[in-house]
């Protein structure tokens, strides 16, 4: 009952403090604004994907019409022969998308740093220039978008600071503490109840905001698990700050001292520690200028193509033993063309080796970052929110891996069909659509 009374008095105190009410309203405003920013990016990406699918389908219909009209390809490109697996697969118009999760409404994360659609060909790579970010103002990217996660990670501690800063300090300064001790018996319980009140109030507001965000992009219907994870993460984050601020309030003696300490702790966790870690990681693991990757795409590629036919053939046979007894392998003229069209498989292996090095370095960098999470909680939570919203580095790494898998599949089909001397007709072309556009 005492606890309930404290809650009731605290509610009265809260609604009579315009500064606190305005702070809460500003937080709600920032949260709603952030949710709309997230929803806007989600809708924008979905609309973009729809446009690409539409255009891709138009092109595909055009290619199908070549088969129906008995043409080998476009009139102004006489060297194209779509009855061969090489050109038919090239024009299979396979796209792979990183379809945004509806949970993007909560955290834009690193979504604006990477491409989310890619035309996959047997000559492609997950590190092609078209895998870079959408066209955006770099100064805006640097400033960062005010998304819901930003409000939660950076503004929530400030809101709590404003709501809690004068608890106990004001009573101490005005000389009410002895009276409170007499009335409540336990000073700690009294303080804890007051902090709990604000914790519950803020958690309620966060729940409402999360639910509002869910309605903007259909999270409940399409990614309900993400909602639950966001609620839990937000709760843990809230508790983290409540514990820190409670300790400051218990130990502190004045409003000013408490406020300064709280601001200091916020600055330390939100600015100083992440910025120092960021700087340290950049010195330890400087940006990869991708020279290994460049070497693979140019000099090593040239060396590969300059190898003798027998060496190339031996490498191809090692990769695809089935081509040894294939019909084309027995025909010396066709064999030459087939070899030339299949060398892309060897190039793909070369690229994969150089990519493995790049990704190993990325992994080392990320491990370094993760090793700081025990004293860098803000970055930890920020990344967890991104992960739930599928806008984390790892989500885009997974997308790259899927692209590589599709490239491998495409190459496998290409080599098999080239060496089996397949003549592509409309049905085979349509089959390609299923065989190489979906991950096995």
Partner 1 sequence: MWQIIKNEWQFLGRSRMLLGISFAFLLILVLAVFLGSQQKQKQSEAYQTAQKHLRQQWENIDAMNPHSAAHYGTYVFKPTSLLSSLDEGVNSITGNVLRVEGHVQNEIVHSEASQMQAISKFGKLKSSLLLQYIVPLLLIFLAFHSVSSEKQSGRLKLLVLQGAKPFQLVLAKTLSVWVYGIALLAVVVLVYGLMNLQYLNGEVLGRTAFFFLSYALYYFVVSGLTVFFSARWQNATVALTSMLGIWILWTVFLPNMLMSSVEKWHPLPSRNEFQAAMKEDRSKGIDGHNPSDERGKALEKATLAKYGVDSISQLEINFDGLRMQADEEYGNQVWDKHFGNLREVLGKQKQTYQIGGLLNPFISLQNASMGFTGSDNLHHQAFLVQVEHYRRGFIKTLNDEHAFGGSKTGDWGWKANNDFFKSVPDYQYQPAALATVLPNYIYDLGLLFFWAIGISFFLFFGAKKMSIA
Dist CA 440 CA 438 (whole Å)? 6
* Nearer to partner 1 (CB atom), residue 123 or residue 362: 362
* Nearer to partner 1 (CB atom), residue 211 or residue 356: 356
Residue 322 falls in which region: left (phi positive, over 0), alpha (psi -120 to 50) or beta:
alpha
Give how far Cα 333 sits from Cα of 108, 306, 308, 399, 400, Å: 55, 19, 16, 40, 37
* Nearer to partner 1 (CB atom), residue 19 or residue 176: 19
Give the nearest distance from C-beta 390 to partner 1 in angstroms.
Answer: 13
Give the nearest distance from C-beta 356 to partner 1 in angstroms.
Answer: 15
Give how far Cα 306 sits from Cα of 208, 294, 378, Å: 64, 18, 53
Give the nearest distance from C-beta 133 to partner 1 in angstroms.
Answer: 7
Dist CA 342 CA 326 (whole Å)? 14
* Nearer to partner 1 (CB atom), residue 70 or residue 129: 129
* Nearer to partner 1 (CB atom), residue 348 or residue 376: 376
Give the nearest distance from C-beta 60 to partner 1 in angstroms.
Answer: 16
* Nearer to partner 1 (CB atom), residue 226 or residue 323: 226
Dist CA 366 CA 42 (whole Å)? 26
Give how far Cα 117 sits from Cα of 11, 29, 155, 406, Å: 50, 33, 33, 13
* Nearer to partner 1 (CB atom), residue 228 or residue 286: 286
Q: List the end-to-end C-alpha distance of the chain, in Å, as a whole number.
A: 62
Give the nearest distance from C-beta 342 to partner 1 in angstroms.
Answer: 21
Dist CA 172 CA 183 (whole Å)? 15
Beta strands in 169-213 (DSSP E): none
Residue with tokens 């520690």: 273
Give the nearest distance from C-beta 204 to partner 1 in angstroms.
Answer: 22
Give the nearest distance from C-beta 252 to partner 1 in angstroms.
Answer: 14
């Amino acid at each position: 009952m005492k606890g309930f009374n404290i809650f009731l008095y605290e509610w009265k105190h809260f609604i009579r403090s315009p500064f606190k009410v305005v702070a809460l309203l500003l937080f709600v405003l920032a949260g709603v604004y952030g949710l709309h920013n997230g929803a806007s990016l989600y809708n924008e990406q979905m609309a973009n994907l729809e446009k690409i699918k539409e255009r891709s389908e138009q092109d595909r219909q055009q290619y199908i019409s070549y088969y129906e009209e008995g043409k080998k390809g476009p009139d102004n490109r006489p060297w194209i022969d779509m009855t061969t697996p090489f050109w038919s697969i090239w024009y299979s118009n396979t796209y792979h998308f990183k379809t945004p999760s509806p949970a993007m409404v909560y955290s834009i994360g690193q979504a604006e740093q990477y491409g989310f659609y890619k035309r996959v060909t047997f000559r492609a790579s997950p590190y092609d220039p078209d895998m870079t970010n959408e066209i955006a103002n770099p100064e805006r990217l640097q400033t960062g978008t005010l998304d819901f996660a930003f409000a939660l990670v950076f503004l929530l501690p400030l809101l709590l600071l404003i709501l809690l800063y004068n608890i106990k300090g004001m009573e101490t300064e005005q000389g009410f503490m002895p009276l409170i001790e007499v009335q409540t018996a336990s000073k700690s319980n009294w303080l804890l109840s007051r902090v709990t009140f604000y914790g519950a109030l803020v958690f309620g507001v966060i729940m409402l905001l999360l639910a509002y965000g869910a309605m903007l992009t259909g999270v409940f219907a399409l990614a309900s698990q993400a909602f639950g994870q966001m609620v839990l993460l937000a709760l843990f984050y809230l508790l983290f700050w409540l514990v820190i601020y409670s300790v400051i309030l218990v130990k502190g003696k004045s409003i000013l001292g408490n406020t300064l300490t709280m601001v200091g702790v916020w600055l330390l966790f939100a600015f100083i520690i992440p910025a120092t870690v960021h700087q340290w990681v950049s010195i330890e693991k400087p940006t990869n200028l991708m020279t290994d990757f460049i070497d693979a795409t140019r000099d090593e590629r040239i060396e590969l193509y300059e190898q003798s036919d027998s060496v190339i053939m031996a490498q191809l046979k090692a990769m695809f033993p089935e081509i040894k007894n294939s019909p084309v392998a027995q025909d010396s003229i066709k064999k030459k063309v087939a070899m030339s069209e299949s060398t892309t498989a060897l190039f793909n292996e070369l690229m994969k080796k150089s990519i493995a090095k790049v990704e190993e370095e990325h992994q080392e960098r990320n491990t370094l970052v993760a090793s700081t999470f025990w004293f860098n909680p803000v970055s930890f939570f920020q990344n967890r929110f991104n992960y739930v919203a599928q806008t984390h580095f790892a989500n885009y790494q997974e997308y790259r891996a899927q692209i590589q898998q599709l490239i491998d599949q495409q190459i496998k089909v290409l080599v098999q069909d080239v060496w089996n001397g397949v003549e592509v007709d409309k049905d085979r072309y349509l089959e390609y659509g299923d065989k190489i556009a979906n991950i096995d």
